[in-house]
Structure formats: structure tokens, C-alpha cells
Amino acid sequence: MIKEYIKSYKDFPVKGIDFKCIASLCSNEKGFRKANNYLYDKLLSVGPVDKIIGIDARGFIFASILSYKFNKPLILARKAGKLPGNCISKEFKLEYGTSIIEIQNESIYEKERVIIIDDLMATGGTVQAVVDIVKDMKAIPVAVGCVIDLSFLEGSKKIKEQGINFYAATNY
């Protein structure tokens, strides 16, 4: 069970948030391996993919491993101002503020099938912004994978309602 490797921190980063921290999972080789193997095994079912997108910053950890295992390029979805060159940007709401995410505009091409990876799904704002960028690039988001799904916040439900496969290694 992956939950046993994940620590919770109450009132972080702001009062009222029960933060689920993957650092404890990543620092345990058994838990880390379980989470990565789970995501890889589930994501194999979506059929052929062209690229793996990792969301800044903790999503990079898992996306890089999946990129390697799938033998596909890793595309970075980063916070505003972190990528050089021309980027496509989307502003989105977090459960405790707003942010902007960007992808370099020549990193994904029309009709490419992509998997989007993040560490945690909460309200879905970050992932939805990346989905919107992928669609703006005329590519196809075939799946979203996360280590943790806070399903009570319904972000994963919103992704599934769009016909996008969603997989999480554990659920709260």
C-alpha cells in the first residue's frame, strides 16, 4: 500500500490544507518503486503514446521515469518564466491561489498522443491547464497519471468527464 509511505502536514502551505508530501515516498526505495511501477503498468493500457509531459516540479520526478520506461521524449510543463523560447501559457486556479503554467510551443505537434504526469491531483486546475495547452497544440491528451488523487476535490472526475484516462497510485 502506497499510503504508508506518504506523510501528511496539516496547515501547509496555508491554514486548512492537509498537505500530502511525496518526499517520504521518494526517499523509500520500496514505496518509490511501487508508485512508479503502478503508474507504468496502468498507463500501458492507453495504447501508443508519443510524449510524456511532466508538471513542475514534483511531476518531473515520476514523468522522467515513465519517459525512460516508455522510451519517449519528456516534455516539461513549467511555471511561468522558467522556459526559454516561445511558450504557450495558461493561467489557472489552485486550491490556495493562482498560477501560470507553460510548455514550449515546438515541443508537441499536432495529433501526437501524450500522457500528463503530476504528483498529486487536487481540484485539477494545474492538470486542466496542461490539458488545455495540449489541446491548443492540436495534440491528444490520452491519459493523466498521478501518485496521489484527492478524489474528494473532484479534479480527477473533471478529467475523466473529458474522456481522458486517469490513474492514481493512491487515493484520499
Query: What is the per-residue pLDDT across 62-79, written as a single tens digit (0 to 9) for each?
Result: 999 999 999 999 999 999
Residue 80 lies in a domain: yes
> 35-39, 91-95, 168-172: which range is least confident on average?
91-95
Residue 97 CA neighbour count, 13 Å, CB half: 6
CATH classification of the domain holding 117:
3.40.50.2020
Asked whether residue 6 is assigned to any structural domain, the reply reads no
Range of the domain at 146: 34-171
Inside any domain, residue 52 = yes
| CA atoms within a 13 Å half-sphere pointing along the CA-CB vector of 156 | 23
| Coil vs helix vs strand at 25 | helix
10 within a domain of the structure (yes/no): no
Domain count, the chain: 1
Predicted confidence at residue 17, as pLDDT, reads 86
Report yes or no on 29 lying in a domain: no
Q: Burial, 140: exposed, middle or buried (Cβ in 10 Å; 0-12, 13-18, 19+)?
A: middle
Q: What is the pLDDT of residue 96?
A: 67
Separation between Cα atoms, residue 84 and residue 107, nearest integer Å: 12
82 located within any domain:
yes
pTM of the model: 0.96
Residue 145 pairs in a beta bridge with 117, 167
